[in-house]
């Protein structure tokens, strides 16, 4: 074999049409991470988000400004200009723009034309990240931003990082809702052989998709075993919740404990990871990550060890998804079909939801 019959292939292709993929236009009306706050300083930062070129800077008062990165005079990127007293001076003919995107000075003439300017975007800085709303500004409601209080709480020790993903963001969300790949794609990092076969539960509702997996007993890989001290064979419980919380945030929460100790008398070790994908183009994604733990908070060596080990694993996802993207790009449409299995249910539901969101947005 065996390629399935054409009837089966056509049925699989039709089923895929109901799922968001690299062809699906971006959903604009949502919060996405634009940058880590520390990246935006008193200088111009160019970044493409959701297919749009933007320029960012921080005012002398500390406010983040996000503007369209295009001079309306002759389309020079404003990011190639200069930041001067909280305004941008275009590097081509010197037109000046304020924080509201209004053109306020044209050096070649005394009077500046009125009502000429560029688009501004609403941003919201929270904890280590700057969120952006790129769709209809009237719908930019902060209640639509999922809570991530732990990133700001002192009893969570956090580290952060960024990966450049050469793949569509939907496939990253899919990867995060699929923990069966840990035993294979992450066999050399944080996957263990028992993981893919462990029983799981799913929670699927409109816009919220979660995968819950209790791996008990298990042997922890070094990234968790060493910092928790749970290094024995079959010593640990690994309780995982992986949840799509919005288009811009997927959160993984894990609790570890010694499964041979009685309930109530065993320390619990919790970690959380915020995976924050922001589409750059249809086939590239900014992948922002914040990782936290609620133990050994004052130990920078533990922070460094876990961060380094985790980023080896996250890089495995990035490398795997990039390979997948290349295959998708190089497979003729008539030959391309994918089939799903039971463990894909949360990811399939999420991809239906994303397509539905986009289609509703296009109709509105």
Q: Summarize as ranges the residues that interact with ligand FES (CB under 6 A).
A: 71, 73-74, 76, 90, 92-95
Distance CA 70, CA 118 (A): 7
Distance CA 207, CA 348 (A): 12
Residue 95 interacts with which of ligand FES, Fe ion, none, CB < 5 to 8 Å by class: ligand FES
Residue 34: CB minimum distance to ligand FES, A: 23
Distance CA 187, CA 189 (A): 6
Q: Is 243 in the site for Fe ion (CB under 5 A)?
A: no
Q: Is 325 in the site for Fe ion (CB under 5 A)?
A: no
Distance CA 175, CA 309 (A): 19
Residue 317 interacts with which of Fe ion, ligand FES, none, CB < 5 to 8 Å by class: Fe ion
Residue 49: CB minimum distance to ligand FES, A: 22
Distance CA 279, CA 284 (A): 6
Closest CA to 216 of 152, 148, 266: 266
- Total residues contacting Fe ion by CB under 5 A comes to 1
Residue 47 vs 96, nearer CB to ligand FES: 96
Residue 55: CB minimum distance to ligand FES, A: 12
- Here's the x/- map for Fe ion, 262-301, by CB under 5 A: it reads as ----------------------------------------
Residue 56 vs 314, nearer CB to Fe ion: 314
Residue 93 interacts with which of Fe ion, ligand FES, none, CB < 5 to 8 Å by class: ligand FES
Residue 73: CB minimum distance to ligand FES, A: 3
Residue 243 vs 317, nearer CB to Fe ion: 317
Residue 126: CB minimum distance to Fe ion, A: 26
Both ends of the chain: CA-CA distance in Å? 46
Residue 280 interacts with which of ligand FES, Fe ion, none, CB < 5 to 8 Å by class: none
Phi, psi of 220 (to 5 degrees): -80, 145
DSSP 168-179: -HHHHHHHHT-G
**131 forms bridges with which residues in the sheet?**
33, 124
Among 306, 317, 346, 348, binds Fe ion (CB under 5 A): 317
Residue 59: CB minimum distance to ligand FES, A: 21
Distance CA 13, CA 23 (A): 14
Residue 90 interacts with which of ligand FES, Fe ion, none, CB < 5 to 8 Å by class: ligand FES
Distance CA 364, CA 1 (A): 46
For residue 165 the two structure tokens come to 């993903």
Distance CA 188, CA 79 (A): 41
Residue 97 vs 295, nearer CB to ligand FES: 97
Distances (CA, A) of 102 to 62, 136, 223: 20, 19, 50
Distance CA 97, CA 78 (A): 9
Residue 115: CB minimum distance to ligand FES, A: 17
The site for Fe ion (CB under 5 A) is made up of 317
């Amino acid at each position: 074999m065996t390629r399935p019959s054409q009837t089966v292939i056509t049925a699989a292709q039709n089923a895929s049409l109901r799922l968001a993929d690299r062809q699906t236009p971006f959903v604009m009306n949502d919060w996405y991470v634009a940058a880590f706050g520390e990246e935006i300083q008193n200088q111009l930062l160019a970044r493409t988000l959701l297919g749009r070129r933007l320029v960012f800077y921080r005012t002398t008062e500390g406010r983040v400004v996000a503007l369209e990165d295009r001079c309306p005079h002759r389309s020079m990127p404003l990011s190639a200009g200069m930041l001067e007293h909280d305004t941008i001076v275009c590097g081509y003919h010197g037109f000046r723009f304020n924080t509201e995107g209004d053109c306020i000075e044209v050096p070649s003439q005394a009077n500046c034309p009125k009502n000429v300017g560029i688009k501004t975007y609403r941003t919201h800085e929270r904890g280590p990240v700057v969120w952006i709303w790129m769709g209809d500004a009237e719908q930019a409601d902060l209640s639509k931003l999922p809570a991530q209080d732990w990133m700001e709480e002192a009893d969570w020790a956090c580290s952060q990082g960024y990966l450049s993903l050469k793949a569509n963001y939907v496939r990253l969300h899919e990867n995060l809702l699929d923990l069966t790949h840990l035993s294979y794609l992450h066999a050399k990092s944080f996957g263990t052989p028992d993981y893919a076969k462990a029983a799981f539960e799913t929670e699927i509702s409109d816009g919220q998709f979660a995968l819950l997996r209790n791996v008990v007993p298990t042997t922890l890989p070094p990234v968790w075993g060493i910092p928790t001290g749970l290094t024995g064979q079959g010593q640990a419980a690994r309780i995982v919740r992986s949840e799509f919380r919005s288009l811009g945030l997927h959160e993984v929460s894990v609790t570890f404990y010694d499964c041979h100790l009685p309930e109530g008398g065993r320390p619990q070790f919790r970690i959380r990871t915020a995976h924050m994908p922001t589409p750059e183009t249809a086939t590239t994604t900014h992948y922002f990550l914040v990782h936290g733990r609620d133990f050994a908070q004052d130990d920078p060596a533990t922070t460094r060890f876990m961060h380094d080990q985790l980023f080896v694993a996250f890089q495995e996802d990035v490398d795997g998804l990039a390979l997948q993207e290349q295959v998708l790009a190089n497979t003729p449409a008539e030959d391309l079909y994918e089939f799903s299995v039971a463990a894909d249910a949360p990811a399939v539901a999420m991809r239906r939801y994303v397509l539905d969101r986009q289609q509703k947005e296009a109709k509105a």
